[in-house]
Structure 1
């Protein structure tokens, strides 16, 4: 993307509107943590069946990300976000018939549609934020918007607990408790879509109805992007995996011996740490490079996990909770570094990065298998290895290596 296609500074209304989008899909994503126990109780599911909630949600990222990139390439960033909002609203609305007919399959289908819309939003909004202003501040802008995404993930469980789990003691009401909240979300998403259709945002390289030149190398030939895809995979996997096991760790007599209820409240510190850390990170990136800051955060996460595995008691608990603070800047920084200098392949690269979010479904399974065979605390070697790789990507793997374009037969003949 050349400098002339970027606005000198983001428009006054552009970043607030995009920030609202990031907050919204953060809230929607974290509601899964409320849906899992809710649907498990309603349909008397075992844990494997209940985890289909996460598999359907993260599976949408894997299946929809590349087609979403094609949608953005054809229709542009702004219209791509509008389409994503409408699809997500349809997914929220589908919770009404799912709850009315009390069919678990309907809930899973609604989740997949909802996640498909969120995936399209991410494919369009993440690269748009990186392009909406000077290139050297791309990571800072994305970290800022991701901070509000973390605010959404913090508010989401409180929203769900108040409006959904409050009906847990009433079996008749419990089955339909999701209808009102998700219809409200559908209405809010449609309202944002209408605003986004009316507001004129800068094009910043909008690729609607444009074609990529045949000689432009495909996105996957860019080494820093391919390594970035793996970095997103292991980052999301490590973050979700640690969060999934924290309640069990804090409930263990060898660690803190908390009740599951108290451990659940402490878990908010893990996600809240990511939120606070993103605001701090946005400030710190004014003073140091995003890659250097992420290297420090990744090394910090490795040290904290090593301390948690080697010690015990409350030190283990606090070390694991503190990893949330280290997570803060990783996703937006990896995303922006991986998209550097992709030019017309930016949308394709964004689709590949969003597809890698499927790590959130697969990495926890690996840790779970290790926990069953070798014990809970030794299993944390899985996220530790993930953070070692992220440290490598931040220190060296993100560097852009020029890719040779395809040459014409005539040029090749001259060269020979």
Structure 2
């Protein structure tokens, strides 16, 4: 019996690892898919980023309900519902390639918005519900399966590494499938990725259905919910941290998302890559996610000696320097970076030096979530669980802020839009220096 339970846990752990990777895979599909829609709408970056916006907008509606689902129906059922929703969202995105391309729905900014674009956005929104629920489930579930403590944390770190690896590979896969984006490039060209994702979700659904999952937080019977005299909103450092999470996710997504558009744009406005710009841009943007994996690994190794506050201050200041250099460096100044061509495979590509410094920001953004979260919940005690749900809602920043950045890039150019990123990074630097201090220690938290 014990051996069977152990084997079941191993299968569940491996499945959770796949789901951890799928969270990043599904989320990171939005930016490269955006190059397809951007080109179909004559280079409108704002419309190209709308899929990403819809994906993250779902967090605003699902953050707290997802946490409530864990209490009411448990981890297992929440995970099963999430995977079913994921299949529905991916299939809806696929439907955008089958019909609606010739039917105008309304006009926006001088562009006739087609029905197929609306269908795609609906699919992206549905996928957002999926990844929000999975994000809420997968971390505590891995901790439970590992028995908590160091083993549980080790499993979470391993899952996070796979999450970063998946984020690295996604732009490569999309770039390899679509190559150079033209007006004729459509969602049908990336359908294999959608079907692979649906297959993984379906397989995980079946596996999880037959596995027993610990449910320590499942509320059974008519247990009355405990009422607190205060809330996380009464703590200044938590309130500022909530804003920090909103800003951080916007930075994390906005830097590589806009870089991908910039490198894929062969016009005078873009980087000017004439051959397989979308594929090369995707490959170079993927290095950003690879460096996030490196940064997380390094942070895990030094976190026992260097505080979250110190790490946040250092990486925020460093990222500001990187982005500033990227902005002021002329695009005519180039260097060779690893890229991918549909015809020639992996090769060195000449790209603006700005791309290198934006990619290096992945080292900095990799540790920001953990740093902000740890500082924001310090001293919260019994209010920590409520704060976690609020933080999950604020992931919506990954949709709102990149959309604002694309609006700026449409108006004044790609590199100029990164001034927004500098302002956002300056806030995180302020939070690390001043805003993270708990000035509400008089509130009882036991």
If the TM-score is normalised by the length of the shorter chain, which range does it land in?
A: 0.7 to 0.9
CA distance in structure 1 between the aligned counterparts of 2:304 and 2:143, rounded to whole angstroms? 16
The alignment status of 1:351 with 2:363, answered yes or no, reads no
Per-residue deviation, 1:139: 8.1
Please, which of 331, 337, 361 is the counterpart of residue 323 of structure 1?
A: 361
The alignment status of 1:80 with 2:88, answered yes or no, reads no
The alignment status of 1:154 with 2:160, answered yes or no, reads no
**Cα 1:247–1:189, aligned 2, differ >3 Å: closer, same or farther?**
closer
Per-residue deviation, 1:101: 2.9
Normalised by the length of structure 2, the TM-score is: 0.73
1:127–1:350 Cα contact (<8 Å) kept: no
Equivalent residue number for residue 196 of structure 1: 208
Per-residue deviation, 1:214: 1.5
Segments of structure 2 that go 5 or more residues without pairing to the other structure are 1-8, 101-115, 335-352
Equivalent residue number for residue 227 of structure 1: 240
**Cα 1:13–1:82, aligned 2, differ >3 Å: closer, same or farther?**
same
Per-residue deviation, 1:309: 3.8
1:370–1:379 Cα contact (<8 Å) kept: yes
1:297–1:326 Cα contact (<8 Å) kept: yes
- More strand, by proportion: 2
CA distance in structure 2 between the aligned counterparts of 1:297 and 1:66, rounded to whole angstroms? 29
Between Structure 1 and Structure 2, how many residues are aligned? 394
CA distance in structure 1 between the aligned counterparts of 2:270 and 2:407, rounded to whole angstroms? 21
2:254–2:398 Cα contact (<8 Å) kept: yes
**Cα 1:107–1:347, aligned 2, differ >3 Å: closer, same or farther?**
farther
Equivalent residue number for residue 303 of structure 1: 321
Segments of structure 1 that go 5 or more residues without pairing to the other structure are 1-10, 407-416
1:256–1:317 Cα contact (<8 Å) kept: no
**Cα 1:187–1:365, aligned 2, differ >3 Å: closer, same or farther?**
closer
- More helix, by proportion: 1
2:237–2:437 Cα contact (<8 Å) kept: yes
Map 1:62-211 onto structure 2 (within 5 A): 62-102=60-100, 103-126=116-139, 144-162=158-176, 164-165=177-178, 174=186, 176-203=188-215, 205-206=217-218, 211=224
2:316–2:364 Cα contact (<8 Å) kept: yes
User: Which piece of structure 1 moves more, 271-280 or 372-381?
Assistant: 372-381
Equivalent residue number for residue 8 of structure 1: none
Equivalent residue number for residue 312 of structure 2: 294
CA distance in structure 2 between the aligned counterparts of 1:116 and 1:53, rounded to whole angstroms? 13
Equivalent residue number for residue 24 of structure 2: 26
CA distance in structure 1 between the aligned counterparts of 2:235 and 2:378, rounded to whole angstroms? 10
CA distance in structure 2 between the aligned counterparts of 1:140 and 1:299, rounded to whole angstroms? 29
Normalised by the length of structure 1, the TM-score is: 0.78
The alignment status of 1:364 with 2:381, answered yes or no, reads no
Per-residue deviation, 1:323: 0.9
